[in-house]
C-alpha cells in the first residue's frame, strides 16, 4: 500500500515547506511506504487542474487510486499522523511492533488487548471503529497465554492521548455500549495542557478551568495523577490542565498564585472573570482538591 501527500507550491509558502520537510524526515523512521511530493502549478498546471487546485498552498492525499483533500492542521506531526492513518485499516493490528507508531499519533488511541481466540471482542471493535474514524484510532493486540501473571484480565483497554497528562483507565466490561460511551469521552483529555496552542479553545468553551501549575514536567504529572479522580468526577462541569510555569509563570502570577511557592492549583471562571487559588500553604493531595472543588461548585 502506498500513500502520498502532494504539496502544490507557491512563493509565500516557506512555513508549510518547513513542516513538510520535517514530516518527510519523520516518515523515514516508520515502517510505511509513504512519500511527500511537491508540485509547482506554474510548470505542471495540467496536474493541478485535474486535482481541482484553486488556491495555494494546497495539500492532497493520493492513496490507492483515490484523491482527497487534507483539511487538518498543517504542522508536521499532524501531517505524519494523517498519512500513517491512511496506510492502516480501521482497526490496527499491533502485533508487528506498531504500538510505538500508534502512541506517536496526534489523535487519541484506544488499544484493546484480547486473547488470540477472542473473536467476539475483535468483531465488536470492528463494528464500532467506523463511527470513530478521524477522532479516535483503534488497535488490537492479540495475546497468547501470558508468560507472566498479569494484574489485568483480558480483554482490557489502554488509552493513549498525546495531550493528556494522566493515564486513562477503562474499568467496565468490554461491551458495545460501555465501550462506545467510553470512546466518546477519549477525545477530551482528563488533564490537558494549557499553552498558546490550547488557550483559545479553553477560553472559548466558557467552562471553568482548573490549572495545575509547576516548574517541572515531573511535578505537573505527579499532581495531575493526584487529581485524576477529581477531574474524572467533574469532567462535565470543569476542565483540568497543567501550566508550565517555567515558560508561562507570568500567567500563573496573573491567576493569583505565588510563583515562588509551587506547585499550585487555581480555578479560573471565564464567565465570572474570577479566580480561586488553592491555599499554597497546604501540600496538594487528592482529598484536599476534592473538597476545594466541591466548595466551588
Extents of the domains making up the chain: 11-87, 91-185, 192-295
Predicted confidence (pLDDT) at residue 257 exceeds the cutoff of 60: yes
pLDDT of residue 1: 42
pLDDT of residue 97: 63
Q: Which residues, at least 6 apart from 257, have a Cβ–Cβ distance to it below 8 Å?
A: 213, 264, 266, 277, 280
Q: How many Cα atoms sit within 13 Å of 48 on the Cβ side?
A: 19
The pTM is what? 0.65
Predicted confidence (pLDDT) at residue 183 exceeds the cutoff of 80: yes
pLDDT of residue 31: 61
Predicted confidence (pLDDT) at residue 6 exceeds the cutoff of 70: no
Predicted confidence (pLDDT) at residue 13 exceeds the cutoff of 60: yes
**pLDDT cut 70: percent of the chain above it:** 90
Q: Which residue has the higher pLDDT, 187 or 285?
A: 285
**pLDDT cut 90: percent of the chain above it:** 35
Predicted confidence (pLDDT) at residue 234 exceeds the cutoff of 60: yes
Predicted confidence (pLDDT) at residue 274 exceeds the cutoff of 60: yes
> In the β-sheet with 137-143, what is the strand arrangement from edge to edge?
91-93, 137-143, 109-115, 156-160
| CATH number at 91-185 | 3.40.30.10
Which one of 3.50.50.60, 2.60.120.10, 3.40.30.10, 2.40.420.20 gives the CATH number of domain 192-295? Answer: 3.40.30.10
Q: Which tens digits make up the pLDDT trace of 62-93? A: 777 777 888 777 788 888 877 877 777 788 88
Q: Which residue has the higher pLDDT, 94 or 190?
A: 190
Predicted confidence (pLDDT) at residue 191 exceeds the cutoff of 90: yes
Q: What is the dihedral of CA 148, 151, 156, 160, to 10 degrees?
A: -100
Q: Give how far Cα 106 sits from Cα of 131, 187, 227, 231, Å.
A: 18, 11, 24, 22
Using a 10 angstrom Cβ sphere, with 0-12 exposed, 13-18 middle and 19 or more buried, the burial of residue 169 is: middle
CATH class for the region spanning 11-87: alpha beta
91-185 matches 11-87 in CATH topology: yes
CA angle, 200 as apex, 198 and 204 as ends, to 5°? 125
Amino acid at each position: 500500500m502506498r500513500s502520498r501527500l502532494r504539496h502544490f507550491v507557491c512563493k509565500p509558502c516557506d512555513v508549510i515547506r518547513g513542516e513538510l520537510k520535517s514530516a518527510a524526515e519523520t516518515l523515514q523512521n516508520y515502517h510505511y511506504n509513504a512519500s511527500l511530493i511537491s508540485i509547482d502549478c506554474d510548470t505542471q498546471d495540467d496536474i493541478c487542474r485535474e486535482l481541482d487546485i484553486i488556491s495555494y498552498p494546497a495539500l492532497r492525499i493520493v492513496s490507492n487510486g483515490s484523491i482527497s483533500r487534507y483539511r487538518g492542521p498543517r504542522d508536521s506531526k499532524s501531517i505524519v499522523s494523517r498519512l500513517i492513518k491512511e496506510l492502516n485499516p480501521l482497526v490496527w493490528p499491533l502485533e508487528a511492533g506498531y504500538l510505538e507508531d500508534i502512541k506517536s499519533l496526534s489523535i487519541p488511541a484506544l488499544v484493546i488487548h484480547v486473547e488470540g481466540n477472542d473473536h467476539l471482542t475483535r468483531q465488536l471493535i470492528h463494528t464500532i471503529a467506523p463511527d470513530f474514524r478521524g477522532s479516535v484510532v483503534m488497535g488490537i493486540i492479540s495475546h497468547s497465554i501470558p508468560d507472566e501473571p498479569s494484574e489485568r484480565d483480558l480483554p482490557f483497554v489502554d488509552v493513549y492521548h498525546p495531550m493528556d497528562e494522566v493515564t486513562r483507565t477503562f474499568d467496565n466490561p468490554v461491551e458495545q455500549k460501555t465501550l462506545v460511551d467510553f470512546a466518546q469521552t477519549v477525545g477530551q483529555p482528563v488533564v490537558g495542557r494549557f499553552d498558546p496552542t490550547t488557550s483559545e479553545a479553553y477560553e472559548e468553551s466558557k467552562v471553568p478551568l482548573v490549572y495545575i501549575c509547576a516548574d517541572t514536567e515531573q511535578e505537573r504529572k505527579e499532581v495531575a495523577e493526584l487529581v485524576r479522580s477529581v477531574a474524572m468526577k467533574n469532567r462535565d462541569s470543569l476542565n483540568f490542565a497543567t501550566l508550565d510555569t517555567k515558560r508561562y509563570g507570568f500567567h500563573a502570577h496573573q491567576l493569583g498564585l505565588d510563583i515562588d511557592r509551587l506547585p499550585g492549583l487555581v480555578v479560573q471562571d471565564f464567565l465570572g472573570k474570577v479566580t480561586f487559588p488553592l491555599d499554597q500553604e497546604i501540600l496538594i493531595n487528592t482529598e484536599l482538591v476534592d473538597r476545594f472543588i466541591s466548595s466551588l461548585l
